Amino acid sequence: MSPPRKRVKTSEDGSSSPSRSGPDTLVNGSVGKYSKSITHGATAQDKATWQGFCDIESEPALLNVMLREWGVRSARVREIFSLDDLGAEYSPKHVFGLVFCYQYFEPDYGMHEKSCPEHIWFANQLSTSSCATVTMLNILNNVPGLVLGENLQSFKDFTRTFEPFPRGEALAEFEFVKRIHNSFATRSDMMNFDLQMKGSFDTAMKAKAQQARREAQQAKQKARTGKTSTPRKKKKRKADDESDAEAAFHYQAFLPIGNELWKLDGMDYYPEKLGTFEEGQDWTEVFRPLLEERILLLSEQYGAEVNLMCLHKDEAAELREHLAQNIVSIRAADARLDTLQPDWRNFLEEDPGLIVGPNTDLGIDEDYLAKIKVPLPVQHRIDEDSPTMLIDFRTRLVDKQKAIDQSVLQVATADERQESEHARDSRSDYRSFHYQYLVELANAGCLRDVAEDVRAAKEAKGK
């Protein structure tokens, strides 16, 4: 399955707000009436204080950057093209969940629970375009023993007893998550979202006013005749081809919880149980026929684009943590030996390849090491052993470091750097550059012919 590779929309109609400028805006260089907020890109302060949620591309690299910045350890997102690929590369117990992205115009007739089971952490999606964040958190918060980071763990603990709706409200107001999510926002995203919200509010107010007028008219009619009119049933409007093309994209989570397979969709009131599997059975095999049926329905009947990603255990991250624990343990042993026997290094032939500090090629810096604690059993040996015994123990720590496959870390670190560079590009708002470039073209008279060609083409099409 090829990814949609577009910003994932989750508004009700998935449409973009119309531009308020036309070809004439820049033809004569008339730019003075447009404010700086329109002509300049979004600043970090703009993004941090904005109350909406921006669209995010269905791109694993961006989601992985979000995971790292949230503080989640040992979890990565990867695109997969079939469950055969998934089973060949990962043990089922290392796959936390699957993320299914599709065009959101399919009615859902699943058998949902009448309430949220206590053992499931599930939040409703209450903010437009927040489905990527909601879906990932709905998976992460149901993985036993996963290190979420201080902020996410505190949020999980705080909302543990919440129902899905108030949990979704709390998530929509969670500034830590929102700030990282909206770091990918552009000025256009923010303006379109705000216009959509204004349009939704105006529509709701108009409907409320119309309802009030109908009720007033019915009350007058009843006072006159003693009868009330029966409202006609509204026909459901069928979406046209154009609106189908602009249909919203949406994420759903499929994951094992205990020995049960669940669908967690923030747009549903409650989770949906899909089936069960035996202990030791590959849960993705249980999901396979459901996935194939879903893809067939969406692609053949609706012509929808679909994308499948998996959230899995990041073995490189665990390997990095083990190496970091080894480094801080050797440091602690060295410090203790310096106190007990200052000349202890004279009795050892030091390995030039030994890592006792930061190493950028392996993704380990001083800040990372500062967060790593010496394991308690190791610390006990360091505190209690005699100098001779501690030197021998240190030698074993060095041997353990040599056994760690550092080439895996080097590849993983290079991948993470590429992801970070991609995220930096995605977070850049080039609106100011593009606008100024058009201004220069307009001042040079280069856009007049383009505008005339556009007008001529429209007139010819109209005839």
pTM (2 d.p.) = 0.71
Neighbours of 238 (CB within 10 A): 7
Specify the pLDDT at position 303. 67
Amino acid at 424: R
| Whether 122 contacts 167, CB under 8 Å | yes
H or E, element range at 138: helix 131-140
Percent with pLDDT over 70 in the chain? 73
Q: Which residues are catalytic?
A: 131, 250
Average pLDDT over residues 306-335: 91
Q: How far apart are CA 374 and CA 71, in angstroms?
A: 20
* Token duo for residue 258: 């205990």
Lowest mean pLDDT segment, chosen from 99-108, 141-150, 160-169? 99-108
pLDDT band at residue 264 using 50, 70 and 90 as cut-offs:
very high
Neighbours of 328 (CB within 10 A): 20
Nearest partner of 133 among 196, 176, 188, judged by Cα? 176
Q: How far apart are CA 102 and CA 86, in angstroms?
A: 19
C-alpha triplet 148, 138, 324: angle, nearest 5°:
20
Does the structure show a pLDDT above 50 at 438? Answer: yes
* Token duo for residue 330: 């050797």
Specify the pLDDT at position 67. 93
Per-position DSSP letters for 347-395, written without gaps between them? GS---TT---S-BGGGTB-HHHHHTPPPPHHHHHHHHHS-HHHHHHHHH
Percent with pLDDT over 90 in the chain? 32
Beta bridge partners of 309: 79, 99
DSSP state of 93: G
374 to each of 146, 315, 364, 378, how far by Cα in Å?
19, 20, 16, 7
Amino acid at 104: Y
Average pLDDT over residues 140-151: 92
| Cα 412 → chain centroid | 20
Kindly tell me the number of DSSP H helices and DSSP E strands found in the chain.
19, 8
- E-assigned strand segments in 258-305: 260-264, 272-276
Non-local (6+) Cβ contacts of 272 within 8 A are: 110, 111, 112, 113, 262, 263, 265
Decide the pairing of beta strands 306-313 and 95-103.
Answer: antiparallel
Average pLDDT over residues 432-460: 76
Specify the pLDDT at position 27. 39
Neighbours of 179 (CB within 10 A): 15
Predicted confidence (pLDDT) per residue in 370-415, tens digit:
989 999 999 999 999 999 999 999 999 999 999 988 888 888 888 8
Give the best-scoring range by mean pLDDT among 12-16, 99-103, 119-123, 176-180: 119-123
Nearest partner of 409 among 326, 345, 308, judged by Cα? 326
CATH of 7-187+242-313, one of 3.20.20.140, 3.30.420.130, 3.40.50.1010, 3.40.532.10: 3.40.532.10
| Whether 280 contacts 290, CB under 8 Å | no
pLDDT band at residue 65 using 50, 70 and 90 as cut-offs:
very high
Specify the pLDDT at position 47. 66
Specify the pLDDT at position 104. 67
Across the beta sheet with 95-103, the strand order is: 75-80, 306-313, 95-103, 249-257, 260-264, 272-276
Non-local (6+) Cβ contacts of 384 within 8 A are: none
Does the structure show a pLDDT above 90 at 452? Answer: no
Query: Residue 187, class by beta-carbon neighbours within 10 Å (0-12 exposed, 13-18 middle, 19+ buried)?
Result: buried
C-alpha triplet 61, 67, 72: angle, nearest 5°:
145
* Token duo for residue 435: 């606008």
Non-local (6+) Cβ contacts of 155 within 8 A are: 170, 171, 174, 176, 177
Q: How far apart are CA 438 and CA 440, in angstroms?
A: 5
Each domain of the chain, given as residue ranges in start order, spans: 7-187+242-313, 317-408
Beta bridge partners of 97: 311
* Token duo for residue 35: 């404010």
Average model confidence (pLDDT) for the chain? Answer: 78
Give the best-scoring range by mean pLDDT among 77-81, 324-328, 434-438: 324-328
Predicted confidence (pLDDT) per residue in 36-46, tens digit:
555 566 666 77
Give the best-scoring range by mean pLDDT among 62-71, 89-98, 350-359: 62-71
* Token duo for residue 452: 């005339």
CA atoms within 13 A on the CB side of 139: 28
Does the structure show a pLDDT above 60 at 128? Answer: yes
Torsion over CA: 441, 447, 449, 450 (sign) = positive
Specify the pLDDT at position 109. 52
Does the structure show a pLDDT above 60 at 282? Answer: yes
